[in-house]
Amino acid sequence: MALTATMYRFAIQLSDVDRGVYETFDLPIARQPSETAEYMLTRVLAYCLEYTEGIALTEGVASGDEPAVLVRDLTGRITAWIEVGAPDADRLHRGSKLAGRAAVYTHRDPAMVLNQLAGKKIHGGDEMRIYTFGRGFIERVAEVLPRRASLSLTITERQLYLDVDDQSFSTTVEERSVS
């Protein structure tokens, strides 16, 4: 018998001071059986940190040829290709060519991700960014993340403040260049 995805539902209050984005929305997310809590949480954070009109979550690790998060314009054209984890160079190359902009949010060691991509041909690699969170942040939050939660997320000067129901967490969003 095949395992099915587990549904999570988050009521999110987003205040991204750095980009001037202030929104409140509900975010249902299907956690695939092969998806870790850390990967799913990184998908949620990537969605929030990239939040804009036309943004959508895909099926995550089960999405096949799509990234974890993508942004489409009003015509349906993909304008941002957002990967999570440690994608291979070919996926990033294809996504960057298709969308014109690609980024990676990772819960893994950024040095490992950068080493994996070093010397590989990636379209727009000099402009592509990898975003990481402070050591242990993702793991600490993932440990306490319930299937239904209210999340309050504030980003200011690349500092991220996250309240999960009645617990508070903070970290720095670190940015690295692929090349």
Longest dimension (CA), the chain: 48
pLDDT at 99: 93
Q: Show the tokens assigned to 157.
A: 């000067």
The beta-carbon contacts of 102-105 under 8 Å, at least 24 apart in sequence, are: 102/67, 102/128, 103/46, 103/50, 103/128, 103/129, 103/130, 103/131, 104/128, 104/129, 104/130, 104/131, 104/178, 105/42, 105/43, 105/45, 105/46, 105/49, 105/68, 105/130, 105/131, 105/132
59 pLDDT more than 80: no
179 pLDDT more than 90: no
pTM recorded for the entire structure: 0.94
CATH number of 6-177: 3.10.640.10
Q: What is the enclosing helix (H) or strand (E) of 43?
A: helix 37-49
For 20, half-sphere exposure in the C-beta direction (CA atoms, 13 angstrom radius) is 0
Which of 115, 135, 140, 142 is closest to 39 using CA atoms? Answer: 142
Q: pLDDT tens, 11-54?
A: 999 999 999 999 999 999 999 888 999 999 999 999 999 999 99
Category of 144 on φ-ψ map: left (φ > 0), alpha (ψ -120 to 50) or beta = alpha
pLDDT at 5: 86
Q: pLDDT tens, 81-111?
A: 999 999 999 999 999 999 989 999 999 999 9
- Where are the chain's structural domains? 6-177
∠ CA 135-68-12, nearest 5°, is: 70
